[in-house]
Structure 1
Amino acid sequence: MPRIHPKPDALSGMWGLLPEARRRALRHAHECPACRAALEARTPGSAPSPWAGRAYDRVFDEVLGQLAPHIRHASRERAEAPGLLAELARHAPGRRELLVRNARRFRNFSLSLMVLDRAREVSPDDPRDGETWAFLVLRLTDVLDPAIYGRALVEDLRARAWSLAASARRFAGDLFGADQAFLHAEAHLRSGTRDHLERAQMLVLKAVLRRMQRRFPEAERLLRRAVSIWLSAGESRRAVEAMLAWSIVHGEHGEPERAVRLLREASELPAALRDPQLAQAIHHNLAMCLIQAGKFLDAEGLLLHSRETTGALGLPGAESGRQWAQGQLARGLGRTAEAEAAFTALRERFHRQGRVYEAAEATLELALVFLAAGRADKVEELAQEARTVFVALGVEREALAAFLLSRQARQPSRTTGGGSPAAFDS
């Protein structure tokens, strides 16, 4: 009989459906040669075992056979989840919560995962809606049966929901609220499966918040740890995504050379070599590093080369990222009108989306454009507006920069460089 191994996704699903005690025992038996041998053959003097004399593969087959009802249940859930999500999406948030609380058909683990994906997708354009979807997952976890799914797995789901709520709050500029959400996420993660991959996902999101708070050393530490976890697990795509976020930390911390080295390392990982989206995101962040280093002509060549591909691939944040890079490049090359148009459009877009922090960043960039053009009155007005936001958010570095810019308005001078909140990030 041929030896057929289940696909990784199927194994992950089966693993999650095992009761927690069995999951721990099976993991230990798989990793421990002595215990594996005890399963494969009866120990002298022990009571007869139904597994005695069988090869380990047959023991594993029997475990999978015992899981068959759970696997069928999971397959049904996966098939039903898209329709359930579409039904929820037709209703207002309050009605969604009522349906989840009262209708048994929504007690579906696969649906919870799809709602998490929805929260992740909508948060950049509508942070409040993203937070609403994340909280809906918390309502779903209240009605999921821990006897079916395991308490630890449900706790992992709660941790993911709170992490995405934190991400949505970050997009909305509620940095304090994001910190509070991460405290909840960490508490649930400690009560969960303690899976390293679950922790790595949260580390990346938390690092992006630390970058926005200008806590760069902590952001770097979190991302280094996440990249190590992803690489150890063979998850090169996730590792590249974390390295993209890490490169932005280096760039905004005034270390574009370190960012370039990191991006070159990322470009050599298997996922970047086979995935054009990741390759284009790396090229974009490289261009941002070149702009931060004052190498505007090199950056322009890289942006021209990748602009059409980046747009065609529909990368997350592609339009904002492209426009931000073009605005900074135009400012660096003295093309004032082009830079003004780019940052004015970005500022308006971020305001519409409720992304307070990024809107203030664009406002500060626009003030720098007007500073180069000698329009002191506009500089002081915009710098004061940005400073008010940054003070309210508790971002002292940017608040100080805005204050110094308003003072400099009386003696305008050409400036270059800047931040990159619209680079490709998590």
Structure 2
Amino acid sequence: MKDLLLGRLSAEDERQAITHLLAGCPRCREEIAPTAAVLFHPGRPEAAPSPDGDDLYDPAITSAVTAALRRWRSLERERAGADAQIDRLLAGETIAKKSAFWTWGLCERLLERSWDLRHKDPARMLAMARHAVETAQRLHAHRHGAYNVEDLLARAWGGLTNAYRIADQLSLAETALEQAFAAFHRGSRPPLLRARLAEISASLLCDQRQFPAAFRALDLSCRLYRKHKARHDAGRTLIQKGLHSGYTGDPEEGIQLLARGLRLLDRDRDPKLIFQALHNILLFRVERGDFKAARRQIWEMRPLYRVHDDRLAEVKLRWVEGKVFLGLGEVDRAARAFEQARESFLEEELSYDAALVSFDLAAIWLRGGKRQEVRRLLHEMLETFRARYIAREAIATLLLLRDAAERDELTLDLLETAALLLQSLKGEPKAD
């Protein structure tokens, strides 16, 4: 509640806090009363408390709520016009540096829209994040407060860090993160902002494959979120840690962390995150060989894939089904699933994923003595990689496999080693 008076809350948090205060919560009114009295009636001597104490700070509280409402309504007006302003920015229109165009609401809306584009359009995500930093840099400290502007600037640099990271511009992401922490230390240093920056730092460290440091940053972030009652955000950090624990060779730890994270999430706030966590639990169950549990989960989850209307996730599910069929000894069904997944990946122009499925299919054919089919498959993979300028290391790996197949020296161990190499070259999926 003190953060409300000091203007440190986001627009949504401020709206919720005001609504809560107007409902008459006695505990929160008592909490903010001393701060409100100092802010809105400085120098006034304290009145003698009334017998019931109810009206001790009422004038100050009323002033505080009125000021907060005024600030919130102003922000809502700014946000209402922000989308049209964003269109002007993206069109390349030149805006004067001292123009009233640059508002707090515009910056917040840019950050929101940038984040929403992370899965669909990384280039536009990056453009909006850059404009968010520019907007925060042009806000007037005398109007918003110097600390508040620095806090918003830290958020904007954090958003730009994520945008650079998702665009695979990791050195620029590092520079942006340094700027975010510099602004944080110049500002009011709110603990929830510190938690968010630690979370962003962890994502970058994971992309740089510095996992011990990333996990320490996630642990710090989770502690801060939980200390300040941000359960959903704490759950998100556990899910991120679980995702990377599983992908770095510990699927059991990954499943446990993902399950803990799911228990903390607000189901209505981010259903996509819940879906992603459940999907990764499925992947890790398959990786550790728990095929019966994985099959049950597929039956339970299949409607979710349709609800989320995620074509790529459905294709990946078909690939996972193939692995489950194979683990349960249903080889023919596994081969059909792998072939369907491979064709779908190629239709989506996801050559790397198509190649990885091809290794699973080639292993089945190799066990069945279908060496001619394996040679044809490797030749197709090689041509696809060459046509799309895939990394030379991946092409070299396929050349070795093709030559071994031509000499009838291809083995399951060699296929598995090559698949692991290509997976490492592709990298892990990026976490939010």
Corresponding position of 1:81: 79
Shift in alpha-carbon separation, 1:129–1:14, aligned structure 2, 3 A: same
Corresponding position of 2:70: 72
1:245 is aligned, of 236, 240, 243, to 240
1:188-207 alignment runs, 5 A limit: 188-207=183-202
Deviation of the 1:208 alpha carbon: 2.1
2:107 is aligned, of 112, 117, 123, to 112
Deviation of the 1:107 alpha carbon: 3.3
Deviation of the 1:381 alpha carbon: 6.0
Corresponding position of 1:181: 176
Deviation string, structure 1 residues 61-108 (Cα, Å, up to 9, x no partner): 51651573464143122133122323422553421xx3373531x332
Identity %: 21
Corresponding position of 2:155: 160
Question: Does 2:336 align with 1:330?
Answer: no
Contact 1:271–1:278 (Cα < 8 Å) also in 2 = no
Question: Does 2:141 align with 1:129?
Answer: no
Deviation of the 1:150 alpha carbon: 1.7
Structure with more contact order per residue of length (Cα contacts < 8 Å, sep ≥ 6): 1
AA partner of residue 80 (structure 2): P
1:344 is aligned, of 343, 346, 350, to 346
AA partner of residue 299 (structure 2): L
Tell me the TM-score normalized by structure 2. Answer: 0.71
Of 405-414 and 191-200, deviating more is 405-414
1:101 is aligned, of 94, 97, 101, to 97
Corresponding position of 1:141: 136
Shift in alpha-carbon separation, 1:376–1:309, aligned structure 2, 3 A: closer
Shift in alpha-carbon separation, 1:376–1:282, aligned structure 2, 3 A: closer
Contact 1:197–1:229 (Cα < 8 Å) also in 2 = yes
Q: Give unpaired runs (5+ residues) of structure 1.
A: 1-7, 19-29, 31-35, 41-47, 350-358, 392-398
SS of 2:45 mapped into structure 1? coil
SS of 2:187 mapped into structure 1? coil
Shift in alpha-carbon separation, 1:268–1:214, aligned structure 2, 3 A: same
Contact 1:370–1:379 (Cα < 8 Å) also in 2 = no
SS of 2:48 mapped into structure 1? coil
AA partner of residue 94 (structure 1): G
Deviation of the 1:51 alpha carbon: 2.0
Q: Give unpaired runs (5+ residues) of structure 2.
A: 10-26, 28-32, 38-42, 327-333, 366-373, 405-409
Corresponding position of 2:6: 15
1:299 is aligned, of 294, 298, 306, to 294
Deviation string, structure 1 residues 167-209 (Cα, Å, up to 9, x no partner): 2222222222222221222222222221121122122222222
Deviation string, structure 1 residues 373-424 (Cα, Å, up to 9, x no partner): 52333455677899965x9xxxxxxx7x886676455325264896897879
1:425 is aligned, of 415, 420, 431, to 431
User: Which has the greater radius of gyration?
Assistant: 2
SS of 1:271 mapped into structure 2? coil
Contact 1:134–1:164 (Cα < 8 Å) also in 2 = yes
Of 110-119 and 178-187, deviating more is 178-187
**Separation in 1 of the partners of 2:290 and 2:347?**
25
Corresponding position of 1:265: 260
Deviation of the 1:251 alpha carbon: 0.9
How many pairs were matched up?
Answer: 370
AA partner of residue 15 (structure 1): L
Question: Does 2:167 align with 1:172?
Answer: yes
Deviation string, structure 1 residues 196-230 (Cα, Å, up to 9, x no partner): 21122122222222222222212211112111111
